[in-house]
Amino acid sequence: MSLDLFSAFIIGLLGSGHCIGMCGGITTMLTSAISENKYASNQQIAVNDQKPPTYNSKKFVLVFCYNFGRIASYCAIGAIVGFTGSIAAKNIGLPLAGLRIFSAVFMILLGLYLGQWLLWLNRVESLGKRLWQYISPLASHVIPVNTPLKALGLGAIWGWLPCGLVYSTLTWALASSSVVNGAGIMLFFGLGTLPALLTLSIGFDSIKSILVNPALRKVMALILISFGIYSFIVAYQQMF
């Protein structure tokens, strides 16, 4: 595993508390949708004299499809941004080290954002809200989320939600200057976010309370800031 992919995975893990805040409500909606349709489905299957699927198995399928769609969108965005980086590097002559310095600065800003010390990334998120206002209405076509296809669609839509954590990782995809590497970075970032969201789906509230604990979030934020500073120094040395 390359350092960039591993770094993207760690960023996803360290941003778990933020992920729960941004996407946790969707998991609750998926669970609610299953609860509302559980008895109706059982009655229909009983008429056909078939064994009804269990609540847990249906919940797992919907949650899996939602996260698959979400991560697929991350990969698509990463590929687009990686392609943009390759154009900038080849046609404009922008040095790769310069892009890495840019991504390191965003990593530091992300740590400050997660630690609630400096909220400049809110301004970046506000830029994404312009695009989100055109994408978010599509969610009305997949709600209520009572089938795997609808869960997949909702995840694909939700992957475009304006998020400072996602945008910061996209700067790494930009610095990769490659369609494949950009998609790969966002794939591993998405995989890093999975443990927290799957834990929330299963219903481990004790683990959720740990992940959103302010003290733990500040520790994770300091780790990201340290990683950003290290990346900045390495990129600066490569550039000069």
- Which DSSP symbol is given to 90? I
Q: Which of 191, 221, 204 is nearest to 18 (CA)?
A: 221
Tell me which amino acid residue 87 is.
I
Does 148 sit behind a cis peptide bond, omega within 30 degrees of 0 on the bond before it? Answer: no
The position carrying tokens 């899996």 is 64
Q: What is the pLDDT of residue 41?
A: 47
Q: Answer for the pair 231, 111: CB distance below 8 angstroms, yes or no.
A: no
Quick count: other Cβ atoms within 10 Å of Cβ 95?
Answer: 13
Confidence (pLDDT) at 127: 82
CB 65 within 8 A of CB 152: yes
Name the residue with tokens 């994408």. 135
Q: Are 182 and 174 in contact (CB under 8 A)?
A: yes
* Model pLDDT, residue 90: 76
Q: What are phi and psi of 117, to 5 degrees?
A: -100, -30
Q: Write down the pLDDT at residue 117.
A: 94
The DSSP H or E segment spanning 57 is helix 55-87
CB 221 within 8 A of CB 109: no
Omega before residue 144 within 30° of 0, cis: yes
Domain containing residue 99: 3-45+54-239
Domain count, the chain: 1
**How far is it, in rounded angstroms, from Cα 25 to Cα 22?**
7
What pLDDT, on the 0 to 100 scale, is given for residue 239? 79
Query: What single-letter DSSP state applies at residue 54?
Result: P
What is the block-wise mean pLDDT of the chain (240 residues), using blocks of 10 residues? 81 79 64 53 48 66 90 97 88 81 93 90 84 89 87 92 90 91 95 83 64 83 93 88
Output DSSP code: residue 143: -
